[in-house]
Amino acid sequence: MWVFYVISLPLTVGMVAATLRYFAGPAVPARVLAVVGYAWLCSLSFVVLVPTDIWTAISGNQNSDVGFFWSWSYWSTFILAWSIVPTLQGYEDSGDFTLKERLKSSIQKNMTYYAIVGSTGLFGLLLIIIMRHNWVHGILGFAMACSNTFGLVTGAFLLGFGLSEIPRNIWRNADWTHRLQFLSHKVAKMSTKLDHAHQEYCSAIYVVQATSNQMSKRDPLRPCMDIIDNMLARMLQDDALFKPSGGKLGENDMDYDTDNKTMATLRRQLRRAHEEYYRRKSDYMNCVMEALELEDTIRNYEQRGVSGWKYLSCFRENRSGSLGSFLDSTEFIWRCLLKKQLMRVLSVILGCISASILLAEATLLPSDVDLSLFSNLINAVGKQEVLVQVAAFVPLMYMCICTYYSLFRIGMMLFYSLTPGQTSSVSLLMMCSMVARYAPPISYNFLNLIHLGGNSKTTFEKRMGNIDDVVPFFGRTFNKIYPLIMVVYTLLVAGNFFEHLTDFFGSLKRFKCWTDQEDMDGLDPSGMFILQKERNSMEQGRKVSEHATPLARNFSSIGKDVESGNVPLGEPTAEMAPERTTQTKHSGNVAFKYSSVRDQSSSLKPVEQVQKGISSASINLEAGSPEEPPSASTAPESPPAETASRWASMKMGLQNFRASMGSKKFFRLSPSPSLGTNASATESLDEIFRKLKRNSSNADADHLDDDGLP
């Protein structure tokens, strides 16, 4: 038993530390890292304790050590998931300036949650009084029953979704064509989201600077404003490449200096805009890098005869020497030959494990039938300790992976975000609370799949027996009946029943999750163009996403109907309608509120003009004179003729691009004249589009009446 502990416990601690380091953002405080790390360690300890518990039950050498570790892990996850983590999550999400106010805001945000938990606890207390159970065992048993029921009811659907989707997605991703199509669409969508997050972040910076500029030094809220200014200064100093542009004021954006609460809202809004921007940037960079590496893999495989079966990458220099040649050949064999086949083999193996789990879940109710593969395997190895623990560890770990995969994928669309290197404190705490809530039910469900010989029971089953004493139905009986629903649900997911249902009822498409199957009508032209520009930028020594924002603004509107060219002349695109502040719309409100400032300045400068005056303590927004020329953010819209010529030039570029794509199975790694990449290597995207505008100024607007792209 101790041999397994010596191997598994350091492995568990290492997994927790590596996961935290991989996902946590740079601004996550130490207290959040400590709580999340401890919660994950307690949750993953179930994966270690279950095989040990099964072995002690088979060997008959049950001792108090296993019971102590069970109690420690179970009640640690219970207290963390249902009390400490929600409070800390609200505390971290609050924008207040004192410890007392942040705790108060956290409690107020969690009032509904606390009311539900308190009502459930009160109902359980009344039930215990009526049934006259032992107080200590009754309260503990009821708490375990509520937690186990919540985890089993919701976890069954999460587990069923993961059992079906993980093997299927691994098989699909082994297909290079399918994966590249998916990534091309994803890059286009990620670039648009990044551009939107960039605009929101710039607007938040603009509002902070405007509020700080209008607030006098004697204002009672000035200390709060100084804290926000210092936070903004640190944000801009941490990323010297960030260039604010396009900030704008909303209708109520000058009302943040009313009281402490509005200032806390302003601080929270700035922090969330900052986190959202860098989260989108990280997602975009990861997606672009994966797509570019996949293009390299396809190119190396199709040109293997020319390269001599060596992997040549555009992101690094060629290796030299005999060792370098050996490494290039090894990398080629792995990326171009073995990886795809191993992914398909892994998909088949995981599919078999999923089928075995479903069969075991479906035969839980009849007690005289044991069709569980894992139960028969554990009973077959008998008294061999290592084999017993390995036979229990592998399927339990797979069940946890399936559940958490579904949890993260669904939660990322609704509640939180999980991004490598940019996950915020709130998202980490939300994720760790979910992990802690589902670890015990998954373990207990797996133990129900194992039928040990005789009347042997594990320590965890004996502890969970308190549920049967207090709430009989929600004990062992419920754990055997409800998995049947999960089996039916998994079969429906595997057969794409819900996708066909949402397609049949068009009004339900808003509830449909975006999967790898969607948008698979070929390569996305705008996505492939972005990938080509990013590749050229990397070859020039620049970083990924350096020019993603202007590129997304030029393609976000074109992607609406790029195949047919049906973009109405009256509909403003990202290039046709430059960003404008709403200062004119709300100038009356601002002037009325700050009448003393109105005599000194008539308009606010854009953010990029003010950034030069940033200091380490505060950031001021300078006022411009009426004689200054209008900036890009207040420029009038383009005339119809200029708009038509610009669209015509962009459409011609896309036509040439698609024509070149029709004769290639993969995107060229070298710049292609058909894509308009023969410009100077040092030109930025803004210069390229400015040249397109100048060269096509005399184009005829009748080009818009052409048929769709060839």
Q: What's the token pair of residue 379?
A: 């009973």
C-alpha dihedral over 656, 659, 660, 663, to 10 degrees? -170
Of 475 and 390, more confident = 390
| pLDDT recorded at residue 687 | 58
| pLDDT recorded at residue 420 | 87
- pLDDT score of 395 more than 90: yes
Q: What's the token pair of residue 76?
A: 């640690």
DSSP class of residue 639 equals P
| pLDDT recorded at residue 5 | 67
| pLDDT recorded at residue 608 | 41
CA atoms lying within 13 Å on the CB side of residue 571: 10
Question: 70-84, 392-406, 536-550, 605-619: which has the minimum mean pLDDT?
Answer: 605-619
| pLDDT recorded at residue 548 | 62
- pLDDT score of 585 more than 60: no
| pLDDT recorded at residue 385 | 83
Smallest CA-to-CA distance from 531 within 22, 180, 224, 19 is with 180
Of 292 and 652, more confident = 292
| pLDDT recorded at residue 137 | 57
| pLDDT recorded at residue 334 | 94
C-alpha–C-alpha distance, residues 520 and 181, integer Å: 6
| pLDDT recorded at residue 426 | 92
- Residue with token string 């949402």: 502
| pLDDT recorded at residue 245 | 78
Neighbouring residues of 668: CB distance < 8 A, sequence distance ≥ 6: 660
Which residues sit opposite 423 in a β-bridge?
24
Helix axes 64-79, 459-470, angle to 10 degrees: 60
Name the average pLDDT for the chain: 74
Q: What is the pLDDT of residues 412-447, one digit of tens each?
A: 666 677 888 889 999 999 888 888 888 888 888 898
Q: What's the token pair of residue 87?
A: 């409070």
> For the residues 174-194, what does the mean pLDDT come to?
92
Of 462 and 219, more confident = 219
> For the residues 87-92, what does the mean pLDDT come to?
93
Q: Where are the domains of the chain?
A: 1-186+306-511
| pLDDT recorded at residue 168 | 93
The answer to whether residues 77 and 439 touch, using CB atoms and an 8 Å cutoff, is yes
> For the residues 325-341, what does the mean pLDDT come to?
93
Smallest CA-to-CA distance from 560 within 526, 531, 532 is with 526
| pLDDT recorded at residue 151 | 77
C-alpha–C-alpha distance, residues 301 and 310, integer Å: 9
Q: What's the token pair of residue 194?
A: 């990044």
Neighbouring residues of 453: CB distance < 8 A, sequence distance ≥ 6: 58, 379
CA atoms lying within 13 Å on the CB side of residue 357: 32
Q: From the centroid of its chain, how far is CA 136?
A: 42
Q: From the centroid of its chain, how far is CA 569?
A: 37
| pLDDT recorded at residue 375 | 87
Neighbouring residues of 674: CB distance < 8 A, sequence distance ≥ 6: 656, 657, 659, 660
- In order of 527, 528, 671, 681, the CA distances from 668 in angstroms are 14, 10, 7, 17
Residue 314, Cβ density class (10 Å: 0-12 exposed, 13-18 middle, ≥19 buried): middle
| pLDDT recorded at residue 280 | 92
C-alpha–C-alpha distance, residues 401 and 395, integer Å: 10
Q: What's the token pair of residue 468?
A: 């049967």
C-alpha–C-alpha distance, residues 267 and 204, integer Å: 9
The answer to whether residues 198 and 239 touch, using CB atoms and an 8 Å cutoff, is no
| pLDDT recorded at residue 593 | 38
Question: 163-167, 181-185, 673-677: which has the minimum mean pLDDT?
Answer: 673-677
- pLDDT score of 631 more than 50: no
Smallest CA-to-CA distance from 272 within 193, 226, 205 is with 205
The answer to whether residues 404 and 362 touch, using CB atoms and an 8 Å cutoff, is no
Neighbouring residues of 685: CB distance < 8 A, sequence distance ≥ 6: 533, 547, 550, 551, 554
* DSSP annotation string for 570-589: TS--TTTS----STTTTHHH
Q: Which range has highest mean pLDDT (234-243, 457-466, 682-691)?
A: 234-243
Of 649 and 259, more confident = 259
Q: Which SS3 state, helix, strand or coil, does residue 24 take?
A: strand
* Phi-psi region at 470: left, alpha or beta (left = phi > 0; alpha = psi -120 to 50): alpha
| pLDDT recorded at residue 119 | 79
C-alpha–C-alpha distance, residues 127 and 616, integer Å: 60
- pLDDT score of 589 more than 50: no
H helices present in 450-601, as ranges: 459-470, 478-481, 483-494, 497-504, 525-539, 548-555, 587-593, 595-598
Share of the chain above pLDDT 90, in %: 26
Share of the chain above pLDDT 70, in %: 64
C-alpha–C-alpha distance, residues 439 and 151, integer Å: 8
| pLDDT recorded at residue 700 | 46
Task: Band the pLDDT of 288: cuts 50, 70, 90.
Answer: very high
Neighbours of 360 (CB within 10 A): 24
Question: 22-31, 153-162, 608-617: which has the minimum mean pLDDT?
Answer: 608-617
> For the residues 247-273, what does the mean pLDDT come to?
80
